[in-house]
Amino acid sequence: SFPLSDLLIQTSASQVQLIFINPLKTGLYRICFHGNSSRKFSLVVPLLNGSVVSKRILGFLVRETVINCCHRRRLESDSAPPPHVRRKHMINDIILRYRLRLSEPAFYSALFQDP
């Protein structure tokens, strides 16, 4: 009964992911995902498609799921470097910023010298 086709016509983005939260008679909530089936959006944790959760934890789990989905989409894009490459670049930047060119005796004397 949700006007999904009308909503998708109005959107300009090609990749639209929807999270449906259906209240159950027991006071719990069922989570359903709808989106591009070629993506692995339905496998984004902590919520899975068809999960049933309580009202108390619902907001936190939906927030974490959306954050994880955004991270996954960013990593799937071609322009974003993987985390290990970003870490390597950051470590190299730190090394270049704080490197001191000392001879070996000067290095050890500076290392064991009281500040």
Beta bridge pairs of residue 52? 30
Distance of CA 88 to the CA centre of its chain: 20
Q: Residue 24 region, left (φ>0) first, then alpha (ψ -120 to 50), else beta?
A: beta
Burial bucket for residue 41 (CB in 10 Å: 0-12, 13-18, 19+):
buried
Residue 48: pLDDT band with limits 50, 70, 90: confident
**Mean of pLDDT values over 76-93:** 86
Q: How far, in Å, CA of 82 to CA of 65, rounded?
A: 20
The pTM of this model reads 0.58
Q: Is the peptide bond before 46 cis (omega within 30 degrees of 0)?
A: yes
Angstrom distance (rounded) from CA 32 to CA 92: 43
pLDDT value at position 47? 86
